[in-house]
Amino acid sequence: MSADSAIATQGVSKRYGDMFAVDALDLDVHRGEIYAFLGRNGAGKTTTIRMLLGLIRPSGGHVEVLGRRVRPGASDVFTHVGYLVETATAYPNLTVRENLDIQRRLTGAPRAAVTEAIDLMRLDAHADRQAGALSLGLKQRLSLARALLHRPALLILD
């Protein structure tokens, strides 16, 4: 692992019973690089991402994100990382703006970040619409706006 690593793993594995979802993964992604996992369903891509974020505990090995050891169950990694899940999520009865304001408060971003995220993702025409009424594409843009709201050092897309 090098000092300029955004993501580094050593021997990371995840086992479910007798099956390895991820087996001894060594990974070193430097800051500024774009890296992608390619593989069919069940290949371990989402499992790897969840271990990188501390959402699940590896069966073996360890993970560092932005030079910090990831502790499963701890939420401190999300201070510096934006994460977009595979399926767009939002509070359906709240507006786009209200969804972003909740995320802003959770991440400690300034109030102006909501307007900036709306502008960046070109959601201004939809800012006062309920998230549940948006098309799938607009829901994805809202999810990406939420992930970028606090200007993370690292963005992970599933």
Listed by start position, the domains of the chain span: 5-79, 96-157
When the pLDDT of each residue in the chain is averaged and rounded to a whole number, the result is 93
82 close to 156: Cβ distance less than 8 angstroms = yes
Q: What pLDDT shows up at residue 2?
A: 62
Tell me the fold of 5-79.
Rossmann fold (3.40.50)
Task: Supply 12's token pair.
Answer: 């990371």
Task: Supply 17's token pair.
Answer: 């019973």
Highest mean pLDDT among 33-37, 85-89, 97-101 belongs to 97-101
The H or E element containing residue 148 is helix 136-148
91 close to 146: Cβ distance less than 8 angstroms = no
Is the pLDDT at 131 greater than 70? The verdict is yes
